[in-house]
A and B are shown apart, each in its own frame.
Chain A
């Protein structure tokens, strides 16, 4: 059985690629054979975040068009066993992604024994984003505590519920998980940022995790390493908790409260 998880948001720049890289790495680290696919045709980025940009030979569209074989196209991660990256095409146009083509690749991954396929969606609600979510069994809705991101997440939820394959077939709906990223408890406490409760009540989706705003994310991307591998980083631990919850474990939320300051800090903070 392989499970297809789309990482989506509607809005751009909220942390989908960061999340896809970390979730896929975390699943593989736990011993699950995992492939992460970049659906952002024309604007490939996942390869950079995963640090394998110089090893790209063939891409998703080559594979769909039968110009390359699966084992020539997948890039095997050098750090994490059981982790493979399928890069997007940088040059072809988006129309090359067809439902039939994507279905063919997903079926092949399934028969190769992949347990998880993580689909990194492009921004927007057009063809590329629709294709990324169409075959999903589960969806991680990446949302920043910010008005436009919350509205766009609500839009993409509507699309998941009406235009995914599961919705079209009228079977079980896509399982939705809310992941709040770039959360800053200090600004929330000051009333400057929507809280976890605000966002999850507005979207009414079960919360799978909260990733704090963290400088480590940029540094990890500078180095071409998924942030989850920077193990003492708060963001890494928050991603690890989220994966545990995705796999059915119970974990308390961490890094969602302001660190208590001393007396001086409290008076003048």
Chain B
């Protein structure tokens, strides 16, 4: 390493890469992929919500998580800013 490098101490990009990959790979290994029905279910839930409130296509976020004990669905619905107040 050159003398000049001692005076610039940015975080090293290689360690950022490693951290990002650790997360990604852990995610890729999470008990295989999410179930096939997820996208369709997401669409159906949006349709149900639309009977009551006008929401955008990305209003419903679904996360699937598989742990040793159980499988979990995390559902986030955002109703848009207008309705908030």
Q: Given the known A-B contacts A151-B25, A191-B12, A192-B12, are A198 and B5 also in contact in the complex, defined by CB atoms under 8 Å?
A: no
Contact of A202 among B5, B13, B15, B18 (CB under 8 A): B18
| CB nearest to B14 among chain A residues | A191
> In the assembled complex, which residues on chain B have CB atoms less than 8 Å from the CB atom of A267?
2-3
| CB nearest to B22 among chain A residues | A202
- The answer, yes or no, to whether B72 is at the interface (CB within 8 Å) is no
Q: Is the CB of A268 within 8 A of B3?
A: yes
> In the assembled complex, which residues on chain B have CB atoms less than 8 Å from the CB atom of A158?
28-29
- The answer, yes or no, to whether B24 is at the interface (CB within 8 Å) is yes
- The answer, yes or no, to whether A79 is at the interface (CB within 8 Å) is no
Q: Is the CB of A194 within 8 A of B17?
A: yes
Min CB–CB distance B71 → chain A (angstroms): 19
CA of A155 to CA of B21, assembled, Å: 12
- The answer, yes or no, to whether B1 is at the interface (CB within 8 Å) is yes
Interface extent on B, as a size class?
10 to 19
Q: Is the CB of B14 within 8 A of A154?
A: no
- How many chain A residues touch the partner (CB < 8 A)? 22
Q: Given the known A-B contacts A266-B2, A267-B3, are A193 and B14 also in contact in the complex, defined by CB atoms under 8 Å?
A: yes
> In the assembled complex, which residues on chain B have CB atoms less than 8 Å from the CB atom of A150?
21, 25
| CB nearest to B15 among chain A residues | A191
- The answer, yes or no, to whether B20 is at the interface (CB within 8 Å) is yes
| CB nearest to A266 among chain B residues | B2
> In the assembled complex, which residues on chain A have CB atoms less than 8 Å from the CB atom of B5?
190
Q: Is the CB of A194 within 8 A of B2?
A: no
Q: Is the CB of A202 within 8 A of B21?
A: yes
Q: Is the CB of B1 within 8 A of A189?
A: yes
Q: Is the CB of B18 within 8 A of A191?
A: no
Q: Is the CB of B28 within 8 A of A268?
A: no
Q: Is the CB of A269 within 8 A of B21?
A: no
- The answer, yes or no, to whether A188 is at the interface (CB within 8 Å) is yes
Min CB–CB distance B65 → chain A (angstroms): 18
Contact of A147 among B1, B3, B17 (CB under 8 A): B17
Q: Is the CB of A191 within 8 A of B24?
A: no
- The answer, yes or no, to whether A195 is at the interface (CB within 8 Å) is yes
> In the assembled complex, which residues on chain A have CB atoms less than 8 Å from the CB atom of B12?
190-192
Near B by CB (< 8 A), chain A positions 125-146 give 146
Q: Which 8 interchain pairs have the tightest Cβ spacing?
A: A191-B12, A269-B2, A191-B14, A198-B18, A154-B25, A267-B3, A147-B17, A202-B21
List 9 interface pairs A-B (beta carbons < 8 Å), by A numbering: A146-B17, A150-B21, A158-B28, A158-B29, A191-B13, A192-B14, A194-B21, A198-B18, A269-B2
